[in-house]
């Protein structure tokens, strides 16, 4: 009696864990160490991040007007879910190939979504800083006001949280298991 590991099943379980990771916190945005926004993967998909820290009491209507759903996060979730569904409906190498492609694509989109968010925030803050004409201020010159605005913009941080790392790690693990399925020579008929 020999014991064989079904890597396709492990890839499916990893993909399911990755999908559950979208329900956990994905990012925290902070300014000078003070949290100002948190979001799960699901909240990024719906465009409803939660204000945190001193902004937590801000009116919800104003918050909803500013946030937009992240198309990239939606695409990552959809590709991971479709990959899992197709992986459940097919068997053997076809399932492994589908799950490998879907896992790698979803992992790449997940990574890109956070990097894109980080770059968009920097661009938006930089454009607001350059477009605003400094107000008359007896304490600071126009140049000093621009420098302070740039300092504030550079202190904004986007930090990845456990849900993001769980999703990304599980997707990469799913890809690894699917790859192992493709490179494992089977001595028995494909039944997984």
Asked if the model's pLDDT at residue 122 lies above 80, the reply is no
First to last CA, the chain: 18
- List, in order of start, the domains of the chain with CATH numbers: 7-132+140-183 (1.20.140)
pTM, whole model, 2 decimals? Answer: 0.77
pLDDT of residue 187: 46
Asked if the model's pLDDT at residue 28 lies above 50, the reply is yes
Asked if the model's pLDDT at residue 134 lies above 60, the reply is no
Which range, 44-48, 144-148, 156-160, 185-189, is most confident?
A: 44-48
Asked if the model's pLDDT at residue 176 lies above 90, the reply is yes
- Show the tokens assigned to 104: 């790698």
Average pLDDT over the chain, rounded to whole?
82
**β-strand partners of 158:** 29
* Residue spans of beta strands (DSSP E) within 69-186: 156-160
With cut-offs at 50, 70 and 90, classify the pLDDT of residue 136: low
Q: What is the mean pLDDT of residues 72-93?
A: 93
What is the rounded distance in angstroms from the CA atom of residue 8 to the CA atom of residue 175?
10
Q: What is the mean pLDDT of residues 139-162?
A: 72
CB 28 within 8 A of CB 159: yes
pLDDT of residue 153: 62
What crossing angle do the helices spanning 71-89 and 92-131 adopt, rounded to 10°?
A: 180
Range in 101-110, 114-123, 132-141 with the lowest mean pLDDT: 132-141
pLDDT of residue 149: 63
pLDDT of residue 24: 95
Q: Which among 32, 63, 67 has a CA at the least distance from the CA of 151?
A: 32
What is the rounded distance in angstroms from the CA atom of residue 32 to the CA atom of residue 55?
14
- What's the pLDDT tens digit per position in 49-68? 887 766 666 655 454 456 78
Percent of the residues in the chain that have a pLDDT greater than 90, as a whole number? 43
Q: What is the mean pLDDT of residues 152-160?
A: 76
């Amino acid at each position: 009696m020999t014991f064989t590991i079904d890597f396709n099943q492990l890839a499916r379980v990893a993909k399911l864990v990755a999908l559950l990771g979208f329900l956990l916190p994905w990012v925290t945005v902070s300014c000078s160490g003070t949290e100002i926004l948190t979001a799960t993967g699901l909240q990024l998909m719906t465009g409803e991040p939660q204000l945190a820290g001193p902004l937590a009491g801000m009116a919800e209507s104003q918050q909803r007007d500013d946030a937009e759903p992240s198309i990239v996060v939606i695409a990552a979730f959809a590709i991971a879910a479709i990959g899992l569904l197709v992986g459940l409906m097919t068997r053997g190498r076809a399932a492994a190939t589908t799950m490998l492609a879907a896992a790698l694509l979803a992992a790449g989109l997940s990574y890109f979504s956070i990097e894109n968010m980080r770059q968009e925030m920097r661009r938006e803050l930089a454009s607001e800083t350059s477009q605003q004409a400094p107000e008359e201020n007896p304490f600071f010159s126009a140049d000093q006001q621009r420098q302070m605005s740039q300092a504030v913009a550079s202190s904004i941080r986007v930090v990845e949280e456990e849900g993001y790392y769980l999703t990304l790690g599980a997707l990469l693990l799913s890809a690894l298991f699917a790859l192992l399925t493709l490179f494992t020579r089977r001595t028995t008929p494909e039944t997984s």
